[in-house]
Amino acid sequence: MSHIRGRFQKDAAEAVVRYTSSLPFDHRMYRQDVRGSIAHANMLAKQGIISTSDAKILIDGLKAVESEIDNNQFDFMIELEDIHMAIESRLRDIVGPVAGKLHTARSRNDQVALDTRMFTRDAIREVQTAIRTLQKVLISQASKHSAVLLPGYTHMQPAQPVLLAHHLLAYFEMLQRDFDRFDDSYKRSDVMPLGSGALAGAAYKLDRDYVAHELGFSAVTQNSLDAVSDRDFAIEYLSCASLCMMHLSRLAEELVLWSSAEFAFVEMDDSYATPSSIMPQKKNPDVAELGRGKTGRVYGHLLGLLTTMKGLPLSYNRDMQEDKEALFDAHDTLCASLSIFAGMIETISFKPQNMERSLGQGYILATDVADYLVKNGLPFREAHAITGQLVNHAISKGKTLETLTLAEYREFSLLFTEDTHAISALRSATSKNIIGGTAPLQVTQQLERARKIVEN
């Protein structure tokens, strides 16, 4: 572009253009760039830095450029380097030399900081909408299966009976923390950097608060050096995304296990599973597995951007261009994963009979037997030891705790009486009737709470 070449007497080498251009990926910020430029033009006119008529020409031209991009009529020329220069170049074609006034009192450094913050704000709200959708699906499935019991596990060993609804709502809680984290990170994105210039501010009487208000920012940055070189907000987004993907990965792992022949707790809908290329009997949980795998991809973007930023002196450095591919891909991966998981959970078939059948494995009522002794006056450590001996006895006889006779129980403690055999999986769950417990009454209240959260 000869009109901005200035000091340089030759164009960049073609390989350098391809290597340094961000246009192939940052073009997706065109709406943010146009919105920011319109607010900037209005502010320049308001402050008397450019005329009102020039501002109108610029704004009409910017809207025309945006319309061209919206309608796939825009030629993204890689030699224009980035979305900012691509829009400015096309604006010059449309409105003529007045286009050069748009860049008054701003640098691409504060311009890209603005666009990236605006993109991140929009991304956060999009992710939160997707989180809510998945949470609603979890609530729906929990409500449909509110009376189903299954083994709860620790160390992947059967531990205690829990309600399936309680298990599903555990993921609701994880996602709610994700929602809240994104809400909090929004505050760091919601700070307006335009007016910071290249690094030192601007030598014009700008009204930065006006621009912030026009663009819906709640505050303006307070240090120009920091403003153009800060990508904490992008790193924070990636951190929140990584945590959310971790939660999806845990859910994916359970679905993979539960859909196996060994568990057979669920069956994936055909539309969310794949066949084997060689074994005709197989139905693979590939969608869940891919969600699990894509978690590492998002982690990589977080670590990559942290590494990019760790050695940069103030202020802006071109290394920071690497923020956008990480941010964009992590956002796309997270949104797609949340959407896919919502569909997968919504269409999944739970198998309550298999879940309840598994309650008879692993001596899952042992803790309840120990609690029975405690409630009859025995210290818990002694009750724990006696119950362990009972389990060993049952194993040696090939029995379950439920099939041991009262006489066998009383060999280990005379505190066992006729009501010993009233211990059951349902009674076990019902006994956990405290806030956060798996008792049916508590789970009903948890469901009501969850519904209120998503409704608000």
Supply the residues annotated as catalytic.
155, 276
Q: Determine the Cα–Cα distance for residues 157 and 200; give it in Å rounded to an integer.
A: 61
What Rg do the C-alpha atoms of the chain give, in angstroms?
30
The crossing angle, in degrees rounded to 10, of helices 232-258 and 286-309 is 160
Is residue 229 within 8 A of residue 221, CB to CB? The reply is no
Is residue 315 reached through a cis peptide bond, with omega within 30 degrees of 0 on the bond before it?
A: yes
Distance CA 73, CA 274 (A): 39
Say which amino acid occupies 122: D
Torsion, Cα of 37, 40, 46, 51 (10° steps):
-50
Residue 93 vs residues 64, 99, 114: alpha-carbon distances, Å: 11, 9, 24
What are the two backbone dihedrals, phi and then psi, of residue 274, each rounded to the nearest 5 degrees?
-135, 155
How far apart are alpha carbons 364 and 351 in whole angstroms? Answer: 19
What would the two tokens of residue 414 be? 């005379």
